[in-house]
Amino acid sequence: MPWLLRHHRYQLPISEIDLVPTRPRSFRTLMRANLFLCLFAAVSALTLGNPTFAERAPETPKKPVSTEYHGVTVEDPYQWLEEDTNPQVKAWSAAQNQRTRQCLDKLPDRAAVEKQLTEWYAKTSPSYFSLVSRPGILFAMKFQPPKQQPLLVTLASADDLKSEKVVLDPNMMDTQGKTTIDWFVPSLDGKRVAISLSKGGSEDGTLQFYETATGKALPDTIAHVQYPTAGGSAAWNADGTGVYYTRFPRKGERPDADLNFYQQIYFHKLGTPDTEDTYSIGKEFPRIAEITLQASRDGKYILATVANGDGGDFAHYLLGPDGTWKQITQFSDQIKVARLGRDNALYLLSRADAPRGKILRLPLEVPELKNAAEIVAAGEAVIEQIVPSTDALYVGELLGGPSQIRSFDLNGKNETVIPIREISAVQEMLALEDGSLLFRDVSYTEPAAWFRCGNEEPEPVKTALRSTSPVSFSDIEVTREFATSKDGSKIPLNILFRKGMKRDGQNPTVLYGYGGYGISLSPNFEFTRRLWFDRGGVYVVANIRGGGEFGEDWHKAGNLTKKQNVFDDFAAAAEYLIKENYTRPEKLAMQGGSNGGLLMGAMITQHADLMRAVVSQVGIYDMLRVELAPNGAFNVTEFGTVKDPEQFKALYAYSPYHHVADGMKYPSILMMTGANDGRVAPYHSRKMIARLDEANKSGNPILLRTSSSAGHGIGTPLGERIKQLADIYAFLFAQLGMKNEMIKK
């Protein structure tokens, strides 16, 4: 399986600390990207509380457009802001950016925060992620500030840092740091590697090929194999002479509106022009297919995992030695993960009658689902990852957010629990050539490290691939508590604070959430939170429904027509923090990105009195038109469609853009978007800000920050990420009245 630096369609903007591989739904995630967490400094004439900033909002003409949905007429006054190339829209956006910069740059903490972050990043150790094993060699992505982008390296082993060699450094290709590696996949012998490269956060990837030993580029290139709507993937054939890869339609093959859909699989033979590439399979796949490829270790089989958009359903197709593809599972079969073993078997994670997952083993000689045998039964833990090795099956699981690992033999017998750090997250698992396991583990208070276990090491041993932090978190306490949602559901809260904190209702607090696509917010480490804790801040992650923390039932209870449960859960989390005297509304901030931006929009429009400030990044706000954007079509299986009467009713009932109320006193709001975002159209933020500017009567600032050099967050240069973080921290420090003191650790 190739390494994919790819979020879920509406995942969070990427964090430099959380660069981990995504997984086809069940493991497509990643990344719990908390690119943020923040808050605010002293109130003065220069702070954001100054109402003159609200009065300086650019004029936004109304150009009403009416649309009828199932007998309901909906008026949209700012639909014209959807036109990215319209000079009037560009001028309006530039004026908003200018206003935001005038506001943020004058904050007393802004420059100091950026300086501190820059210094800390310069002191961080390299971090290694997305490891791939080949005979005698490990491939890894390496992030090493102050470099702007991660690079691809090889190692002889996880304990031999001196053996490191650079295969490709995008920072050398592009000194501005705008070129990034989307994903890579080595040939089965490790001698060559296929790499998708894209620019400017666009995620529009071109596949290129390199010699591993020398880093020499081969002449072959294939354009547009990767795009933010459906992503991209590749798998090598047995002898390394060619690759199967995901191919989007070429110009003229389909209407322009469909050029980023109808993903299919083609084969490319090295040394030939891509115009001679041959079709393999995919004409029967859905318009919103998202394909991930993997090859068996002997190269005899290619497995294609085909997602039906982003709702979490998958079909699987197997290319065997006879050269023909055979469909093994259908979307309705509820097989969420499939992994080719080294024992001529396919291991399947099934949620059929098992919302938390069970594991099946299917012999490849008879590749029909009816021949699969259950080898690991469903239990209390949620199965997320399955990693077959030469003689063991490693299973990564969630316990409501934190992780555990179990190992079995290949028949699901001889269960062993592998001890890991308490309240931590296993982000990656990799079987090595000798059958042992490498896994990447991280906690809220300790940075990520790779551990090895198996064979003669039953207890995990920390390898040389470990990250260090420029600041200490030894004084930070983590507690796990539960809020009660509107319908009685218990919602886990992970609460981080400095030891000795008083519960007097005066603590500045940021509440973070996501709630969608079955994506779980597991423990993660972000050293920039030190800024927050040093000002007495509390940081809280809510494991609300829509995520996968408690399995498929937890996910399904927060999607389609049940999306309101997500918002109720998050509101209950805020109310719990207030009731338990952690904080009060005047000291509470909320934060989320992407699908979590939708959550922020719902909080603003449904519970404006619960918080003082909101930071919403690359968010979705107009739920009636989201499916019309290229990426939006992929999300109908998660959100629903206005074409369905009941789903329209649910969408319209919570759509944030349509529930901004004139005369309301809204909290302080910072919305951030990227001009090159192919996952969430930037116009969502433009329209929402325009409507809020029109309706707000509080005098609190409502700001829009658009980055011209970024997209959804993936591929954003480190320098821009630092600037975004500095803006967020300074904004929230100012809004929550936190002390203007830099406490260095």
- Residue 241 near residue 261, CB atoms below 8 Å: no
The boundaries of every CATH 3.40.50.1820 domain in the chain are 3-115+471-735
Per the confidence metrics, is the pTM higher than 0.75?
Answer: yes
- Residue 531 near residue 113, CB atoms below 8 Å: yes
The tens digit of pLDDT for each residue in 370-413 reads 999 999 999 999 999 999 999 999 999 998 888 999 999 999 99
Of the listed ranges 136-145, 193-202, 378-387, 710-719, the one predicted with least confidence: 710-719
Band of pLDDT at residue 676, cut at 50, 70 and 90: low
Fold of 3-115+471-735: Rossmann fold (3.40.50)
Secondary structure string (H, E, C) spanning 509-545: EEEECCCCCCCCCCCCCCCCHHHHHCCCCEEEEECCE
At 408, list the tokens. 């079995």
**Residue-level pLDDT at 29:** 33
pLDDT mean over 88-111: 93
- Residue 669 near residue 703, CB atoms below 8 Å: yes
State how far the alpha carbon of 702 is from the alpha carbons of 55, 141, 302, 617, in Å.
Answer: 10, 38, 51, 13
The tens digit of pLDDT for each residue in 446-458 reads 999 999 998 777 7
Distance CA 88, CA 395 (A): 54
The sign one gets for the Cα dihedral 497, 502, 508, 512 is: positive
For residue 62, pLDDT over 90 is answered with yes
pLDDT mean over 351-362: 96
**Residue-level pLDDT at 388:** 97
Q: Which DSSP letter does residue 251 get?
A: B
Sheet holding 538-542, edge to edge: 476-484, 490-498, 538-542, 509-512, 588-593, 613-617, 668-674, 702-707
**Cβ partners under 8 Å of residue 525, min gap 6:** 17, 442, 443, 444, 445, 446, 447, 448, 467, 469, 473
Q: Among 498, 570, 516, which residue's Cα sits nearest to residue 743?
A: 498
Distance CA 398, CA 522 (A): 8
Distance CA 740, CA 745 (A): 16
Q: Among 113, 13, 14, 79, which residue's Cα sits nearest to residue 673?
A: 13
pLDDT mean over 15-39: 33
Band of pLDDT at residue 30, cut at 50, 70 and 90: very low
pLDDT mean over 309-337: 96
Phi and psi angles of residue 93, each rounded to the nearest 5 degrees, phi first: -65, -40
**Mean pLDDT score across all residues of the chain:** 90
For residue 17, pLDDT over 60 is answered with no
CA 252 to chain CA centroid, nearest Å: 33
